Amino acid sequence: MYQQINLYQPVFRRQPRVFSALTLLQIIGLASVVLFGFYLHASWTLNGLDSTVDSLSAQYRQLEDRLGILETTGNDSTTSAQQEIARLQASLDERQALLDNFSRLRFRETHAFGEFFETLATRSLPGLWLTGIRLTEDGETEIRGASVDPTLVPRYLQGMPAEPRFSALHNGSIQLARDDPARPAVSFILSSNREEL
């Protein structure tokens, strides 16, 4: 006679222990250390707050003493306040004079820089690109660029409009430099200053 026994029944399964006594002791010890750390931090913070309260109380008493002194010597403070007002008025007058001087300054250039850049943006030539632009208030202009073909530089200069800054470039200096002798590309500088050559 055979009898089948189901070993998967809960009676035959080994019940796992969730926590052993050693694990429970370790958890309790760790929790105790963490709680003690919180306690030390809280007491340290409380001591710092107590010292801050003492310091602020002392400052408050000092300010009350000063206020009492100022109330007794009210006449002296009004003269010092009037002196301070006079000093500040003199400083204000000096700054107003400086502002008036700045408002009298006139720029020598009648056209804004924005118009110059707008004109450059509309004048493009395939194979030629600009790498730098320098404009000064005195009217000096310098345009740096590069080109794949050296003959494009004079064509670019001829296509510039007859505005004062561009006219100065026509009468200024042109510098061409070839960085790599094996390639036809050149870099150029168009300057309104003749003395740079």
Quick check: is 179 in a domain? Answer: yes
pTM of the model as a whole: 0.41
- Position 138 in a domain: yes
Is 107 a residue whose pLDDT tops 50?
no
| Domain CATH number, residue 131 | 3.30.1360
Full residue range of the structural domain in which residue 161 is found = 113-196
Cβ atoms 194, 171 nearer than 8 A: yes
142 part of a folded domain: yes
pLDDT average, residue stretch 111-117: 68
Q: Is 38 inside any structural domain?
A: no
Mean pLDDT on 107-118: 61
Residue 105: band (very low, low, confident or very high) from pLDDT cuts 50, 70, 90: low
Tell whether the model's pLDDT for residue 147 goes beyond 70: yes
165 lies in a domain? yes
Mean pLDDT of the chain: 79
130 occurs within a structural domain: yes
- pLDDT at res. 13: 67
pLDDT for res 37: 94
pLDDT on residue 114: 72
Q: How confident is the model at residue 74 (pLDDT cuts 50, 70, 90)?
A: low
| Strongest mean pLDDT among 79-83, 97-101, 172-176 | 172-176
What band does 144 get if pLDDT is binned at 50, 70 and 90? very high
With respect to residue 161, please indicate whether it lies within any of the assigned structural domains.
yes
Contacts for 35 with CB less than 8 Å, ≥ 6 apart: none
Could you tell me the pLDDT band of residue 164, with boundaries at 50, 70 and 90? low
Q: Which residue has the higher pLDDT, 19 or 179?
A: 179
Residue 119, classified by CB atoms within 10 Å of its CB into exposed (0-12), middle (13-18) or buried (19+), is: middle
Domain assignment of residue 14, yes or no: no
**Number of neighbouring beta carbons within 10 Å of residue 183:** 9
Number of structural domains the chain divides into = 1
Task: Label residue 163 by pLDDT band (50, 70, 90).
Answer: confident
Q: What pLDDT does 197 receive? A: 41
